Structure 1
Amino acid sequence: MPDDTPFLPRTAAPTTPRPVPSWAKKKPPKSKAATRTKVTARKYLAPRDPHEHARKIAENVIDAWHQSFGGSSIDVPLGTVAALALLRNRPGLADWILNLQPHQLPQFFKEIYLGYWVKRPDLIARAIRLHDWAWNPDPDTQQLRAVHAITHRAINTGLLDLTGHDDPWRRSEADVLSPLLTGLRHKSDKKWRGEYHTPACVSDLMANMTVDKKFIKPGMSFREPAVGSGGMLRSIAQRLRDLGLNPHDFHWYGNDVDALAAACAAVNTIIWDLGPNCFIGCADSLAPEDDYGITLAEAQDAFTERDKAVDAATFIAATEGALRLLNQITTPKEKASV
């Protein structure tokens, strides 16, 4: 017989609580995608010889570049190491750089070069081959991964320990870019260019023999018609410092027919702190043209362009500041009238 009683919810039967499983007592693991492991620089036992240390850095960078399939553009690894060598080492800096993502590195390198462009626009303009790639609005992903790899390898091999000293004598003990440039280039490429950099031991010996305290005086000039990455200039500067003299009190000029070598020399003169009277040219020293005069004219143009850009930036900043102040003054009155 059908029951006409309206449907009523039944009372739930009493149940015994089930024991909590062991896996539920543990906190759920964090997603690997949402977490990033902080990378720290590993301590590197650098060789006692700074030139050997520079060679080790170059070898590790070249190995990382090729293992990461960075490509044939050797200006990219050169520009990466050059930018890092321009930094002054500070506590935590290496760890901070190592935790940057590949897509963040070009902007970081641009800021380094722009910081020195304000001081020496001529040298940074000469080094355009080393940092032009960082301004690419659509960078190659594989290349960025290779840049990320060589950044880690350079720092973990002690690059900042070699070039990051506040004392210019300490960071001028070796040339990091010379073994890197010659190591990245193919043997046939070096052969037809006739590119053979003078070993540091030879250039140091030449500097010690020719730069004598009896006749060397502030105001003198040093010229190198085949400067390469600037190794001879480095040796002379170190010799001057050993004699208690300041390289800033002398005039320096280096020239090379190879634009990439001249770019390395331009960056090195900043690292080695040769002073405001140092100019690097890119021309054929055997040509009848006055390469020194051309270099000075190009430097003057670079300073003029720098001044124009700074003046424009100053004007824009002043205008924006005035507009903000005007807005702060007028806004309360408008609200009161409403």
Structure 2
Amino acid sequence: MTLYGIPPAGMRRAMAPESGRDHAHAIADAAHAWWTSNRGGSSDRAIAVGTLAGLALSAPSRPEGPDYGPLLLPLNDEQLIDALRAGWNSFWTYDPDLTEAARPLHDWLSHPTETDIRGLSDYARVLVRAGLLEYCSDTARAESDDVLGLLITRMRSYSERQSTGEFFTPAVAADHMGDILFSTDRRPGDLFLEAAAGTGTMARAAAATLRFFGNDPAKYRWWLNDLDPLNSACCAVSAQLWRLGRHVTVSCGDALNDPRLLEEAVRERAERATAEQQTRPVLYPTRTRPPFWPWQSVPPS
């Protein structure tokens, strides 16, 4: 039995590629193919990646968790926008600072135009069909590759990447570097600092290596920085998908030439976001109750 031609979660899990890395590429390929066919190439990439990120954050907290597909599939474009707002509201409740760091991925939800939301419900169905929810609910799969980074790379032209000197580190190379990085003794509380993190794939590899050796990435501190606002926004979301814990800082700026200014800006942003959350518990007005939030039961550090 299928809904909108999409089988239930158990069947989607069985049909998913065996390799998490292949699964991530399949999701990014499906997302990019739909966007280029229906929304005109790489335009509005913040909406394309932001919609994927919002749905990813709403995935169940475990592979055998509830199937949210039937809740998403019947939605029209306007209803999907409301559901995405509800998801970001939950993220805002959980961590206002990271939600603020991810603003380039969701700020468009404050005043979306008809062009912004056109066809997004169909796009969401493509992502569900590709197994996005199942991919993100399984930590081992989610940390096997950087699905947000894969989509951004596909949506940026070669000339764009050349002009900024941007290079997306393949997962295989990142995994090898992660093995080298943690071949020496590392203790809980140590800081992983990435000044040019891109979308965070090196942090992904490091977290996977820590888990392989029986360590919990959440017991370490992470600081991910990139010059590109969309890249750093992806770091904020992926930090949750990869279960990096509550000691995560994401920044956007020149970490090499102005580290002190960057540190001050990050501290001010965190203080501002925390204060705003106390007076503004809901980031976006919505009529939709958010789905179960995978991290809401984690006590603050």
Distance in 2 between residues matched to 1:265 and 1:250, nearest whole Å: 16
1:252-283 C-alpha deviation (Å, 9 max, x unpaired): 00100000000111110011111111100000
Unaligned runs of 5+ in 1: 1-36, 312-338
Distance in 1 between residues matched to 2:217 and 2:20, nearest whole Å: 21
Aligned-partner SS, 1:47: coil
Distance in 2 between residues matched to 1:67 and 1:143, nearest whole Å: 15
Distance in 2 between residues matched to 1:102 and 1:310, nearest whole Å: 25
Shift of 1:244: 1.6
When normalised by structure 1's length, the TM-score is 0.75
Counterpart residue identity of residue 263, structure 2? Y
The match for 1:24 is none
Distance in 2 between residues matched to 1:80 and 1:70, nearest whole Å: 16
Shift of 1:289: 4.2
Distance in 1 between residues matched to 2:213 and 2:136, nearest whole Å: 22
Confirm or deny: 8 A CA contact 2:59 2:134 kept in the other structure. Answer: no
Which of 104, 123, 148 is the matching residue for 1:177?
Answer: 148
Which of 205, 221, 224 is the matching residue for 1:235?
Answer: 205
Residue 75 (structure 2) pairs with residue 94 (structure 1): no
Aligned-partner SS, 2:249: strand
Residue 186 (structure 2) pairs with residue 211 (structure 1): no
The match for 1:117 is 92
Confirm or deny: 8 A CA contact 2:181 2:206 kept in the other structure. Answer: no
The match for 2:128 is 155
The match for 1:330 is none
Q: 1:92 to 1:40 in 2, by over 3 A?
A: farther
Within 5 Å, give how 1:197-276 maps onto structure 2: 197-212=168-183, 215-276=185-246
Please identify the structure whose Cα radius of gyration is greater. Answer: 1
The match for 1:280 is 250
Aligned-partner SS, 2:250: strand
State the superposition RMSD in angstroms: 2.0
Counterpart residue identity of residue 157, structure 1? A
Q: 1:162 to 1:77 in 2, by over 3 A?
A: same
When normalised by structure 2's length, the TM-score is 0.84
The match for 1:84 is 55
Shift of 1:70: 5.4
Distance in 2 between residues matched to 1:91 and 1:215, nearest whole Å: 39
Aligned-partner SS, 1:162: helix
State the aligned residue count.
270
Confirm or deny: 8 A CA contact 1:83 1:109 kept in the other structure. Answer: yes
Unaligned runs of 5+ in 2: 283-301
The match for 2:288 is none
Distance in 2 between residues matched to 1:92 and 1:279, nearest whole Å: 31
Identity across matched positions, percent: 30
Which of 105, 114, 137 is the matching residue for 1:130?
Answer: 105
Q: 1:281 to 1:239 in 2, by over 3 A?
A: same
Confirm or deny: 8 A CA contact 1:265 1:280 kept in the other structure. Answer: yes
Aligned-partner SS, 1:118: helix
1:66-104 C-alpha deviation (Å, 9 max, x unpaired): 222257111001001001111233434112201111111
The match for 1:64 is 34
**Higher relative contact order, chain-length normalized (CA < 8 Å, sep 6+):** 2
